[in-house]
Amino acid sequence: MSPSLRSRLHRRLGPLGVAALAVIATLGLMAVLAPLLPVADPTDVDLSDTFAPPSAGHPFGTDSNGRDILARLVWGSRTALLGPLTVTVVATAVGVVLAVVASWRGGWSDGVISRMFDVVFAFPGILLALVVAAVVGAGFVAAVAALSVAYIPYIGRVTRGAALQQVRQPYVAALSVQGQSATAICARHVVPNVGILIVAQATVTFGYALVDLAALSYLGLGVEQATPDWGAIVAAGQSDILSGYPQQSLYAGVLIVVAVAACCIVGERISDREQYWGRLR
């Protein structure tokens, strides 16, 4: 990281924000590099070595199936982060496009799109995921698809509000007069100008989606139990707590909390600073 980038980040996010960003980056890196990391096969069952205490072979010990807890946590980050990432990317892409169209076209289009946001907003993420599970059967894909839809209005409403302000700015009229196309103006000017806000909202959405997916895993409506996933690990380890083996639930629970907290911090910092700067300008 170049010093100037570091100081810019620092100014933008504050020390806590930078720490949170570092946490997200570390977790993301862990997920990407999981196959290269020196951890065991997370699905390797060894019934002769269940609930093993930490050792050189199993730094975090093993679970009720004799699987390596560290490996499951590391590989679990892939599912635990990929799901919310998909939700965030899809919801952001769709939400931003709809919001920009609504704010640009106004009138009838705006009315229909805003009403769509209202309707989807009426279905909280978990509820929509449950309905989808009832229709097509439970599973990771169904849960991610449902949440992707459910979070569209969360991005869309914020973006629409901000884009509406941009569209009314004189520079947009000026560009329009110069003969730039609507798409070009929106893509090159409007969206980048509200970009920070979108990033902030997307970051927070990521955190919420992570919690929702973990909750669905907990309900047994998310990922398959054999697939390593933080939410599923917490759920699977729950009955071991009483037997005196709280490890896996504890570790996975802490990872979820840390990841979500980091997202919330970064998201809030970005939008806080944006508002702050906006006021100063």
Partner 1 sequence: MPRFLVTRLVGLAMTLVVSSFLIFWSLYLAPGDPIATLSGGGTLPPEAIQALSRQYHLDDPFFTRYAAWLGDVVRGDLGESFVFNAEVADLIATRVGTTVLLVAMASVLIVGVGVTLGVVAGIRGGLLDKGLLLTTVIGQAVPSFVAAIVLIWLFAVQLRWFPAIGSGEGFAGRLQHLTLPAIALALAYLAYVARITRAATRDEMAREHVETARARGFSPSQIARRHVLRNAMIPIATVSALTVAGLLATTVVVERAFNLGGLGSLLVEAVVRKDFAVVQAVSLILVTAFVVVNNLVDLVYVVLDPRVELGAAR
Partner 2 sequence: MAGTLTIALLVIGACSGGDGRGGRTAASASTGGNQRGTVLSPPAKGQIDGFTWALPFEAVTLDPIKSWNYPENTILANLCESVVRLSPELQPEPGLASKIDTSDPTTVVLTVRDGVTFWDGSPMTAEDVAFSLNRNLQPNLGGYFAPFWRNVASVAATGPSRVTITLKQPDVLFWKTLSLAGGAVSKKAYVERKGKTYGTPKAGLMCTGPFTLESWTPGQSVVMTRYDGYWNPDLRAKAGRVEFRAVADQAALANALVTGEIDGTFYAPVAAIRRLEASGAGTLYRGASTLAQGLIPRLDGPLGDARIRKALSMALDRSVISEQAWGGAASPLSSIAPATTWGYARDVFAKAYDELDIKPVADLEAAKTLVREAGAPTGTITVWSSAENRPAVTTINYVADVGKELGLNMKVETVPIQEYATWAYDPRARAKTGLFHTIWWTDLAEPLQALWPLVEPQGSSNYYGYSNPAAVEPLVKAFAEDDDTARARLVTQAQRVMVAEDVMWIPLTNVATLTWMSKRITGGPVSVPAAFYTPWAAHVGTP
Q: List residues near partner 2 by CB under 8 A.
A: 43-48, 50, 64-67, 137-138, 220-221, 224-226, 238-244
Sign of CA dihedral 268, 258, 218, 221: positive
- The residue range among 3-11, 43-51, 53-61, 245-253 that interacts with partner 1, by the rule CB under 8 A, is 245-253
Using DSSP's 3-state secondary structure scheme, residue 49 falls into coil
249 counts as binding partner 1 under rule CB under 8 A: yes
Q: Please state, in angstroms and rounded to a whole number, the distance separating the CA atoms of residues 244 and 250.
A: 12
- The residue range among 51-59, 66-74, 75-83, 120-128 that interacts with partner 1, by the rule CB under 8 A, is 120-128
Alpha carbon dihedral 72, 77, 79, 82, in 10-degree steps, equals: -170
Residue 48 touches which of partner 1, partner 2, none (CB < 5 to 8 A by kind)? Answer: partner 2
Q: Which of 265, 212, 198 is nearest to 83 (CA)?
A: 212
Residue 260 touches which of partner 2, partner 1, none (CB < 5 to 8 A by kind)? Answer: partner 1
Judged by beta carbon, residue 228 or residue 231, the one nearer partner 1 is 231
User: Residue 76: is it exposed, middle or buried by C-beta count within 10 angstroms (0-12/13-18/19+)?
Assistant: buried
141 counts as binding partner 1 under rule CB under 8 A: no
For the bound state, the minimum distance from the C-beta of residue 14 to partner 1, rounded and expressed in Å, comes to: 12
Name the phi and psi angles at 180, rounded to 5.
-75, 145
Burial 155-194, CB ≥16 within 10 A → b, else e: bbbbbbebbbebbeeeebeebeeeeeebeebbeebbbebb
Among 131, 173, 174, 226, binds partner 1 (CB under 8 A): 131
- The residue range among 5-13, 166-174, 189-197, 228-236 that interacts with partner 1, by the rule CB under 8 A, is 228-236
- The residue range among 24-32, 75-83, 175-183, 260-268 that interacts with partner 1, by the rule CB under 8 A, is 260-268
- The residue range among 21-29, 36-44, 92-100, 112-120 that interacts with partner 1, by the rule CB under 8 A, is 112-120
For the bound state, the minimum distance from the C-beta of residue 146 to partner 2, rounded and expressed in Å, comes to: 17
Instruction: Tell me the CA end-to-end span of the chain in Å, nearest whole number.
Output: 28
Q: Please state, in angstroms and rounded to a whole number, the distance separating the CA atoms of residues 197 and 191.
A: 10
Draw the binding track, 71-110, toward partner 1 (x: CB under 8 A; -: no contact): ----------------------------------------
Name the phi and psi angles at 106, rounded to 5.
60, -165
Residue 224 touches which of partner 1, partner 2, none (CB < 5 to 8 A by kind)? Answer: partner 2
Judged by beta carbon, residue 136 or residue 184, the one nearer partner 2 is 136
For the bound state, the minimum distance from the C-beta of residue 93 to partner 1, rounded and expressed in Å, comes to: 22
Q: Please state, in angstroms and rounded to a whole number, the distance separating the CA atoms of residues 258 and 262.
A: 6
Those residues with Cβ within 8 angstroms of residue 223's Cβ, 6 or more apart along the chain or in another chain = 79, 139, 140, 217, 229, 231, 232
Residue 136 touches which of partner 1, partner 2, none (CB < 5 to 8 A by kind)? Answer: partner 1
Residue 123 touches which of partner 1, partner 2, none (CB < 5 to 8 A by kind)? Answer: partner 1
Ramachandran bin of 11, using left for φ above 0, alpha for ψ from -120 to 50, beta for the remaining angles = alpha
222 counts as binding partner 1 under rule CB under 8 A: no
